[in-house]
Structure 1
Amino acid sequence: MSKAPPKPAAIGGSADETEASFYEALQSGDIERLMACWADEDDVVCIHPGSPRLVGLGAVRAAFEMVLSHGAVRIQVESLRKIESMTSAVHSVRERLDILTSEGSVEAFAIATNVYFKTTQGWRMVAHHVSAGGAHDSEDISDPPHVLH
């Protein structure tokens, strides 16, 4: 009698839950939990500041293993803007990072774009693109509101 293959852990009832799990995994240094947030697709994409585009789960995992080799990442989500549909979501996140250097702790900011698809396993990340921000937090630049007369 053969057994059915085990189902993956049930995370990602929403794109917000998958994103929370992703950032919690970074903060705790848990590579398995972090990779569980990613879709099982050949063309997932990850771009870190100053690095080339990483395509595929193997390349993404290797990059995050390197990031986490120095320990957990001190990261806090400061601001979230999102566009969602029934099967996809795009989140723009302002991240506050606490980076340990030889001179001590330095605060920095980054802007990440996270793209999620609703899969048979739940909401999973398909793209993570981070751009370096400034040394100080900055406000969003937005179009002025339209005023109807």
Structure 2
Amino acid sequence: MTSLTDAEQVERANTALYEAMERGDHEALSRLWLDGDISCVHPGWPVLRGRGEVLRSYALIMANTDYIQFFLTDVEVSVVADTALVTCTENILSGAPAEEEGELGPLVGQLVVATNVFRRTADGWKLWSHHGSPVLAESDEESEASD
């Protein structure tokens, strides 16, 4: 059996972050982050600093999202020494809370470009910083008007 390269290990850690979000598994998500000085920017949010503030934000998002699924595209991994940079496009499908109990709320699609920075630790690659920014796509009409 061949061992995984650093880039492959980082890509797995990156994927695990999104899978934990999809499952609503706050414990698993917490294990993926470094202890100490971390930062996070969710689309439209201010910078969150520190483990407590960052993890509280994920708990809040999970509590208010009935359904979320990420399709990652354009994933690029770069590793230099004990630091890794991942850029990707988060193609997100999410459902808001439903009006009626037991039903799924309306599904909404969103594109977010994300940068995730990882640090190598004795326990593997851990997330140091996440920055997500919404993609403001032009409609076909707008792009034709500018031609």
TM-score, scaled to structure 1: 0.75
Partner letter of residue 128 of structure 1?
Answer: H
How big is each residue's C-alpha offset from its partner over 1:29-72, in whole Å with a ceiling of 9 and x where there is no partner? Answer: 1001011100112x100001111111111001110001100234
Aligned to 1:92: 87
Partner letter of residue 61 of structure 1?
Answer: L
> CA, structure 1 residues 58+72, in 2 after alignment: closer, same or farther (shift >3 Å)?
farther
How big is each residue's C-alpha offset from its partner over 1:69-105, in whole Å with a ceiling of 9 and x where there is no partner? Answer: 0234221112212221231110111010113257822
Aligned to 2:21: 26
DSSP-derived class of the 1:14 partner: helix
> CA, structure 1 residues 37+72, in 2 after alignment: closer, same or farther (shift >3 Å)?
farther
1:135 CA displacement = 5.1
Q: Structure 2 matches for 1:1-149, cutoff 5 A?
A: 14-41=9-36, 43-69=37-63, 70-101=65-96, 104-134=106-136
TM-score, scaled to structure 2: 0.76
Structure 1 runs of 4+ off > 6 angstroms? none
Greater percentage in helix: 2
DSSP-derived class of the 2:18 partner: helix
Identity of aligned residues (%): 27
Partner letter of residue 126 of structure 2?
Answer: R
DSSP-derived class of the 1:51 partner: coil
In 2, the alpha carbon distance for the partners of 1:125 and 1:114 equals 7
In 2, the alpha carbon distance for the partners of 1:129 and 1:73 equals 18
Query: What is the total number of aligned residue pairs between the two structures?
Result: 123
Aligned to 2:145: none
> CA, structure 1 residues 15+113, in 2 after alignment: closer, same or farther (shift >3 Å)?
same
User: Structure 2: which 5+ runs fail to align?
Assistant: 1-7, 99-104, 139-147
User: Structure 1: which 5+ runs fail to align?
Assistant: 1-12, 137-149
DSSP-derived class of the 2:44 partner: coil
Give the CA RMSD over aligned residues.
1.9
1:106 CA displacement = 2.2
